[in-house]
Amino acid sequence: MSGIGKGVVTASIGKVLQFRGFKVSVVKIDPYLNVDPGTLNPIEHGECFITEDVWNFKPVFESDERSYRISEIDQDFGTYSRILGIEMHPSHNITSGQIYLSTILGERKGKFLGKTVQLIPHVTDIIKERLMEIAESEELDVLLIECGGTVGDLESSIFLEAFRQLKLEYPKHTAFIHVTLVPYSRAVGQQKSKPTQHSVKMLQSMGLQPDIIIGRSEKPLDDDIRRKISLYSNVPENAVISNPDLEIIYELPLLFEEQGLGDIICELIDLKAKLVSYSEVTNYSEWVKMVEMYKNATKTIKIGMPGKYFNISDSYISINNALEHAAAHQGYKPELKMINITEETDIEKELSDCDGILLTPGFGERAVEGMIHSAEYAMEKKVPFLGICFGAQLFYIAFCRKYLGLKGAHSTEIDPNTPFPVVDLLESQKEVSEKGGSMRLGAQKIIIEPDTRLFNTYQKKEIFERFRHRFHIKERFITDEAKQKGMVVSSRDETGKIINSIELNRKDHWMVGTQFHPEFKSRPYNPSPIYTDFIKACIAIRTNNK
C-alpha cells in the first residue's frame, strides 16, 4: 500500500551500499499524470521538496518545443537527501505526465515515423532511456529506483513493465525489492502473511519475481512468518527482511545491516565492496554514533506550529525533520504541537504552553487571520519565533498592523483590494499566467546584512538557500518608524530589490522570518544553522522559565 515508508526503505538500502563504498543515487517514479507535484495540495500528496537546481525539461530532446521548469519534486527526495547526504537533480523524479508528454510530442515531431506508437515498446523505451541516462551520466555504482503507488495500480503498470524488460536486458545487474505490509491481527495474536502473498502473486503475474521482500510491521518479523513469506513468495528466507516501527528512522540502515541486506544485494547484482574513505555521511561507525546521539536526546522542548495542512503528517516533513536535527544536537527532542487553525481556534490558549512558535508555509486565505494572530502573540509574549516563507510574510503583516497602525494591511494574494499591500507579487510574476513550475524556485544567492541575527547564525555574507514563492515583502512600508520599532531587513537578493529575510531588533526576543526554506538543506548530522539558533532560543526561554 502507499504511505508504507518506501522512501525511508529506499534511502536505507542506499545507505548500506554507501557503507560498502559505492556511489549511489535514487530515482523516484510517481505514476500520476502531473508533470511535477508543484500544483498538488499538501493534504493530497504531502510536502513538495525543492531542489538546488531548476531543470528545463524538454519532452523531446533537442526540439524547439517549449520546456517546463521543474524544481518541485516528490517529498521522498527529502528523505533520500537527509539519509544519503547527496543532492539529486530534478530529472530524478519521473512522472507519467513527463513520459506521456515525451511520447505524444515525440510522435508529432516524427520520432516514431512509420511506427504505430504503443505502450510497448515506445513508452517503456522512453522510461528505460531516462533511467539509463541518469545511471551512465552520473557514473553510478548503483541506481535505486523507487516506484510510487501500489502493486496492481493501472497507472503504475507501464513502469513495472519497464522494470521487467530491464531485468531481461541486465539479468545479473538488476534486483527487485518488494516492500510490503505485514499486519498484526490482535484477534488471533499473529502477524499475517496473506497480503504479502497476494501482492507477490500479482507481481509474478506481471513477470516480476521479487529477489528480496522487506516486511513493514509494528514489531520485528517472527521467524515463522519469515519462513511462510519465503515459502509462498519464492524468496530465500534470509532475503525476507524485517522493517519494524522505529522511533529513530536513521536506525533503519543499521537494522538492515544486522540482517545482512547489504551482502545479499551485492551478491545479487555482482558487486564487490570498495574501500570506504572516512566521512560522517558514509562511514558505518559514524552513523552508529549519530543514531546514539538521537536516542540520548531525552529532554523535550515544545514547538507550536500553527498552520493549515495538518490533515496528514507529511505536509511539513522537512520542517519537522529540521527541528528534530537541531534539537538532537542540543540534547533535546522536539514535541511538535501542530495547530490546525480554524475560525474557532483559541490561538492564545493553544500557544500558551509552547517554548517556541514556527509559522508554517502555505498558500491561500484559509486560516490566515489565525496565523497572523500567532505572530502577534509571539511579539507580545516575546516567544521565540521562526516564520518560513508564507509564515515570514504573515509575520510582516502582523508587525505592520500592530506597530505601524496599518489597519487592513495584507498580502494581495489574500486581499487584492487591501489599502496597504505590504506583501505583493514579485515583478517577475506579474506577467505569469500558468501555475506549474512558474514560481521563483531553487537555490538563490542571499546577501546577508552585517550585525543581524541572520549574520550571527550563518557567519557569512553570502549563502545559498532554496525558494518557492510568487509574493514578497514590500520594502516601501519599512519606514523610519518601522525601523525604530524594531523591523530589520537582514538579507536580500543580489539585486537588492527582493527581501529574503526580516527580523526584530530585540535583545531579549528571537524573532526571524525567512522567505527561503532552510529546512530543505538540514541533515541529521549537520542541522540547518537558522533552525539551530531558533531551537537554542527556545531552550533558553524554557530554562529561564523553570
The active-site residue out of 72, 465, 517, 538 is 517
SS (H, E, C) 243-285: EECCCCHHHHHHHHHHCCHHHHHHHHCCCCCCCCCCCCCCCHH
Mean pLDDT across the chain:
93
Q: Is 389 a catalytic residue?
A: yes
Note whether 395 and 510 are within 8 A (CB): no
The residue among 287, 311, 346 that closes a domain is 287
How many whole angstroms from its chain centre is CA 84? 13
Q: Please give the single-letter amino acid code of residue 36.
A: D
Which residues fall within 8 angstroms of residue 298, CB to CB, at 6 or more apart?
Answer: 331, 333
Q: Are residues 310 and 391 in the same domain?
A: yes
- Please check whether residue 139 lies inside any domain of the structure: yes
48 is catalytic: no
CATH of the domain at 510: 3.40.50.880
pLDDT digits (tens, 9 = 90+) for 503-512: 999 999 999 9
Does the pLDDT value for residue 309 go beyond 80?
no
Q: Which of 48, 266, 389, 538 is catalytic?
A: 389
pLDDT value of residue 311? 67
Per-residue pLDDT at 276 exceeds 80 = no
Residues 171 and 307 in one domain: no
Radius of gyration, alpha carbons of the chain: 25
The CA distance from 28 to 144, in Å, is 8
Reported as a single tens digit per residue, the pLDDT across 437-448 is 788 899 999 999
pLDDT at 232: 95
pLDDT for residue 200 is more than 80: yes
Indicate which CATH number applies to the domain containing 128.
3.40.50.300
Question: What pLDDT digit, counting tens, does each position of 517-545 carry?
Answer: 999 999 999 999 999 999 999 999 888 87
Same domain? 256 vs 339: no
**267 & 340 share domain:** no
Residue 281 sits in the same domain as residue 337: no
Which of 72, 161, 503, 519 is catalytic? The answer is: 519
Q: Do 335 and 225 belong to one domain?
A: no
Is it the case that residue 546 has pLDDT exceeding 70? no
8-state DSSP, 121? I
Does the residue 213 lie in any domain?
yes
Q: How many beta carbons lie within 10 A of that of residue 416, not counting itself?
A: 10
Taking the chain, what is the end-to-end CA distance rounded to the nearest angstrom? Answer: 46
Report how far residue 83's alpha carbon sits from residue 106's, in angstroms, rounded to the nearest whole number: 37
pTM of the model: 0.94
Q: What is the pLDDT of residues 393-417, one digit of tens each?
A: 999 999 999 999 999 999 999 999 9
Residue 300's CB is within 10 A of a number of other CB atoms, namely 12
| Residues 194 and 264 occupy one common structural domain | yes
pLDDT of residue 27 exceeding 80? yes
Residue 469 designated active-site: no
- State the pLDDT at residue 114: 85
pLDDT at 285 over 80: yes
Amino acid letter at 501? S
Whether the per-residue pLDDT at 16 is higher than 80: the answer is yes
C-alpha cell at 235: 524468496
Domain final residue pick, 287, 315, 338: 287
In a domain, 292, yes or no: no
Mean pLDDT of 79-88: 96
Residue 50 belongs to a domain = yes
For the range 411-419, what are the long-range contacts, defined as Cβ-Cβ under 8 Å and sequence gap of 24 or more? 411/471, 412/471, 413/363, 413/364, 413/365, 413/470, 413/471, 414/364, 414/365, 414/368
Q: Give yes or no for residue 93 having a pLDDT over 90.
A: yes
Kindly state whether residue 293 falls inside one of the protein's structural domains: no
The tally of CA atoms less than 13 A away on the side-chain side of residue 74 is 25
Confidence band, pLDDT 50/70/90 cuts, at residue 279: confident
Of 287, 316, 336, the residue at which a domain comes to its end is 287
- The reported pLDDT for the residue numbered 192 is 94
pLDDT digit string, tens, across residues 430-473: 888 777 878 889 999 999 999 999 999 999 999 999 999 999 99
Same domain, yes or no: 88 and 129:
yes
| Host domain of residue 410 | 298-545
User: Domain check: are 99 and 166 in the same one?
Assistant: yes
pLDDT tens digits along 206-230: 999 999 999 999 999 999 999 999 9
The stretch 263-269 carries a mean pLDDT of 96
* Dihedral over Cα of 243, 244, 245, 246: its sign: negative
* Residue 472 belongs to some domain of the structure: yes
Q: How many Cα atoms occupy the beta-carbon half-sphere of 489 within 13 Å?
A: 20
Query: Domain total for the chain?
Result: 2
| Number of neighbours of residue 382 by Cβ within 10 angstroms | 14
pLDDT at position 41: 77
Residues 42 and 93 both lie in one domain = yes
Residue 80 — very low, low, confident or very high, per pLDDT cuts 50/70/90? very high
Q: Is 1 contained in some domain?
A: no
Domain co-membership, 158 together with 20: yes
- Answer whether residue 62 shows pLDDT above 80: no
- Predicted pLDDT of residue 310: 74
258 close to 238: Cβ distance less than 8 angstroms: no
